[in-house]
Structures are given as C-alpha cells and as structure tokens.
Amino acid sequence: MKQLSLGALLLATSSLPALAQDRVTIDFVYPYSSLFDVTYEAIMPAFKAAHPNIDINIRASYEEYEDASNTILREAVSGDLPDVTMQGLNRQQILVDRGIAQSLEPFIAGEADFQKDGYHEAMLSLSTFDGEVYGLPFSVSLPVGYYNMDTLAAAGVETLPTTWDEVVETCQTLIDSGVENPIYWDWAITGNWFFQALMWTQGRAPVEDGRINMDSPEALKTLETVKHIVDGCNMRNLTGDEAVSAFAAGELPLMYTSTSNVGRMMTIKADFDFETGAYPGIDGTPDGLPAGGNAAVMTSTSEDPAVREAAWQWLKFITSGEGAAEVARTTGYMPPNRAANDIILVDFYEQNPQKATAVEQLPLLRDWQAYPGDNGLAITQVIYDGLERIVTGDAQDMEELQEELTEEIDDLLPRS
C-alpha cells in the first residue's frame, strides 16, 4: 500500500496551476521500493516545476526484476500496460522481441540537444537493439566489496583482498580471531548477476551465439570459485536482506553485493568504519563485470500523442541531468550520463568515497546478458537452483554439477 499512497500523493499535488484540459496523466512502475521511493520523491518537485501539466500515477512497485518482467508480459496480454516501466537491464530484450517496448528513436530525433547530457555510450548500448534505442538507462550498478574496517583491523587485516583466494585467506584470519559469520557473497541476487560476474571476470561472456557457456572451462572455474568461497569462509545461507541487516549491525565484516545498497548502508549502519573496495578477481583484476540496474522503457498503448509525449518527457527527465544525479545522491547506483557524474556531482564522490568505487570500475562494464528464448526466466531459475545447491552443501562435485546444469539448460534453449 505504500506505493499506492505515494502514487496518489504525487497525482494529487502540483506546485503550479494548469488548466484541467491541459493536464496529462501517465502510469509509471518501478521495482525495489525500499531503494527507490526516496529517489523518486527527490526527483518529483523539479519535474513538476518543469512540467506542471503532467501528473505521474505511480502503480504498486515490482518486487524485483523477474517480477517486473513477468508482470509486464501479463499486462501486455490483459491490455493494462503502464506508459513507462523500469526494467532490469537484462530483461529488455524479450520486451523488444515481443513488440512491447517501443523504439525511442522518433522522440530522440525530435531532440536537437539530446546528446548534451552525455549518456555514457557503454550504458546506452545496454538498451540498444538492432541499432535503435528502446530504453534509457536510469540506474547502473556494479558489484563491490563492503568492509567493516574496525573488525578487519581488530583481526589484524591490514589490506583489502583483491582476489577470491585472498578473500578466503581473510575469512580464515577473521574466523581465527573469533568471528563466526565472516562473509556473504550475494549468490542469490536477481538475474544470476554474480554468476555472470565470475564469468566476465575471466573474460568469457555467459552467452554467445544463442548458447549459454555452461559447459566451458570458465563456467567450471566459476562453480569451483563459489564452492571455494562457501567452504573456505563457512558462509551461511542468508537472504540478501538478512546479510544487509547483519552487516549494518556490525555482525558481518565482509559482504559482496551491488553498490546499490551503499546509500542505505550509510544511513542504517551501526557506529563502525565502513569502506567499499573493488570487486575481487580470480587471478587478479577482473577482465569485466556485468552492469546491473534498470532502464526506463516506454510501453504506452495510448493513441493520444499528448500522453506519449508526456511519457517521453518523464522518461528523459529521470535519466538525464539533475534527475539522474538524484540516483547517486539517494542510493549507491551510478547515474547513466556524464553530466550527472562529471559535472553536477563533481564534488560528490570526493565527499562520498564509498559510492566512488563503482564509478572507478566503469571501464570494466559489460552486458548483463539475457538468456535466449521464451525460457529465459526458467534458465535463470536453473542456475539459481545450482548455486543454491553449492551454498547448502548439497552439491560437492563441481564437474558433475556443471554437466547437470548444462543438460537442463540445453533442454530449455530454442531449437533451430
């Protein structure tokens, strides 16, 4: 009900008067209300000042990106699509393939100064299909390390780990010092993001030529690395929310997850020295890392040009300039354009070094890949189940697990 009340509030309030016949209302939906409510609340006054005749009706939020994708697919059948939806960067392809997402090229063509806000090319490419832009990236994240520096110092750890072997060594030092719960590696995060991170770390794309590289040496190394972390660090099977709470309470000294939680962590953490660090590699610096986050996609079925233009104005506003800067100010995500990162936020990262780590990793940015075909979500679940078997100790032989996962995935891939 929180999202509905927020939507009703935004729909009912306006800072400037406008004639009733000039007003336009668009429907908008986004995921992860606990992260993004504060962001849209911060954005709304400036948008209303610039566009007093446009009202934003915010629908109940999606739980996560899989829910966002499933909901949009259902609404396309029922004819109840929102005008603008925020979708995971790896979930746009299916909406494009099914004609649900609409090309933004006609709107971009009408914007003489569209490029002045300087969208990062690598970020914009995540929403580009067959040469046309279908979404504008809104919030972009990369995986980082979260560190309780007080606990590390008490255990005698002087430098942050840069490889997973060093992470396990750090865990052992913490365990020897009496820490019972040293680490959480966010294996369960949406879209197999951390599985893909370990693949990209080795320079291997998770998906190539319509196939998933589960039978590759890099995939076996990925599974072995997960097991090494779980076994070597005595990692407990926590949920992501449980891990965030444990870290904030000072009970969990190492956590590897999305940078998206940094802003929240700085607000809720207990009194300890909190730093972030670059995501470790397997043999050194990662060759690449998948970009997480979401993009604004137009899915309006309205035939009213005023509604579609209003949807474009909202979509453009939240992904550029001051609108995008609020992403960094209120969360740990990175804005998708240089105007926000390099100009508007010129002093921000110096004052908030915990949020700068992901920005420093931008040269490593790679695609957060969608799995091919109509069974993409089912493939996501297969890989999730495989990782869970490692975390719970059910799977011990990684070569055997690799063979099982490869067979299950191949059965779900499209046939020629």
What is the pLDDT, as a whole number, of residue 202?
A: 98
Per-residue pLDDT at 164: 98
- Read off the pLDDT band of 416 (50, 70, 90): low
CB 379 within 8 A of CB 409: yes
Quickly state the pLDDT bin for 400 (edges 50, 70, 90): very high
Least confident interval from 67-81, 95-109, 123-137: 123-137
Give the CA radius of gyration of the chain: 22
Give the DSSP H/E element, type plus range, for residue 77. helix 65-78
What integer is the mean pLDDT of 238-264?
95
Give the residue-averaged pLDDT of 236-253: 96
| Domain extent for 380 | 143-290+371-412
Measured CA to CA, the distance from residue 76 to residue 113 in angstroms comes to 33
Taking the C-alpha atoms of residue 72 and residue 75, their distance in angstroms, rounded to an integer, is 5
> Using the 8-state DSSP alphabet, how is residue 61 labeled?
P
Rounded CA separation 236/255 (Å): 12
Q: Is 20 helix (H, G, I), strand (E, B) or coil?
A: helix
Residue 224 buriedness (CB in 10 A; 0-12 / 13-18 / 19+): middle
**Phi and psi at residue 190, in whole multiples of 5°?**
-50, 145
380: left (phi over 0), alpha (psi -120 to 50) or beta: alpha
Domain harbouring 261, CATH code: 3.40.190.10
Closest CA to 294 of 71, 107, 90: 90
Domain count, the chain: 2
Q: Say whether both 149 and 257 belong to one domain.
A: yes
Task: Give the model's confidence band at 4: pLDDT under 50 very low, under 70 low, under 90 confident, else very high.
Answer: very low
Q: What is the mean pLDDT of the chain?
A: 91
pLDDT for 115: 63
Residues 195 and 212 in one domain: yes
Which string of DSSP letters, residue by residue, matches 354-402? HHHHHHHTGGGEE--PPPSSTTHHHHHHHHHHHHHHHHHT----HHHHH
Asked if 245 and 262 touch (Cβ cutoff 8 Å), the reply is no
What is the pLDDT, as a whole number, of residue 120?
A: 65
Considering only CA atoms, which of 288, 173, 295, 286 is closest in space to residue 234? Answer: 173
Same domain, 90 and 147: no
What's the N-to-C CA distance of the chain in angstroms? 46
Q: What is the pLDDT of residues 106-152, one digit of tens each?
A: 998 888 777 644 666 766 787 899 999 999 989 889 999 999 999 99
pLDDT tens track for 194-209: 999 999 999 999 999 9
Cβ neighbours of residue 152 closer than 8 Å, sequence gap 6 or more: 170, 174, 253
Phi-psi region of 108 (alpha: psi -120 to 50; beta: other; left: phi over 0): alpha
Angstrom distance (rounded) from CA 36 to CA 269: 19
What number is the average pLDDT over the span 220-231? Answer: 98
Token pair, residue 109, equals: 């063509």
Q: Same domain, yes or no, for 403 and 255?
A: yes
Average pLDDT over residues 56-77: 95
Whether 350 and 213 share a structural domain: no
What's the average model confidence in pLDDT over 177-186? 97
Residue by residue, DSSP assigns 228-279 as: HHHHHTT-----HHHHHHHHHTTS-SEEEEEGGGHHHHHHH--SS-EEEEPP
Same domain, 283 and 298: no
Model confidence pLDDT, tens digit, residues 300-336: 999 999 999 999 999 999 988 788 889 989 998 988 7
Judged against a pLDDT cut of 70, whether residue 21 lies above it is answered with no
* Of residues 234, 227, 239, 263, the one with CA closest to residue 146: 263
Residues 107 and 73 in one domain: yes
Point out the domain boundary residue: 332, 348, 366: 366
**Distance in angstroms (rounded) separating the CA atoms of residues 57 and 198:** 39
pTM: 0.86
Predicted confidence at residue 338, as pLDDT, reads 72
Same domain, 129 and 234: no
More confident residue, 22 or 326: 326
Q: Please give the backbone phi and psi of residue 269, each rounded to the nearest 5 degrees, phi first.
A: -70, 155
Buried/exposed 21-47: b ≥16 CB within 10 Å, e otherwise:
eeebebbbbbbbbebbbbbbebbbeeb
Rounded Cα distance between 52 and 20, Å, is 11
Same domain, 95 and 178: no
Rounded mean pLDDT, 55-70: 95
- Both 199 and 150 in one domain: the answer is yes
Whole-angstrom CA distances from 92 to 17, 87, 191, 249, 390 are 37, 7, 12, 36, 29
The predicted pLDDT at position 118 comes to 64
pLDDT tens digits for range 337-363: 777 777 678 788 889 999 999 989 988
152 shares its domain with 240:
yes
Q: Tell me if 167 sits within 8 A of 226, measured CB to CB.
A: no
Tell me, yes or no, whether 389 and 359 share the same domain.
no
What sign does the CA torsion over 93, 94, 99, 100 have?
negative
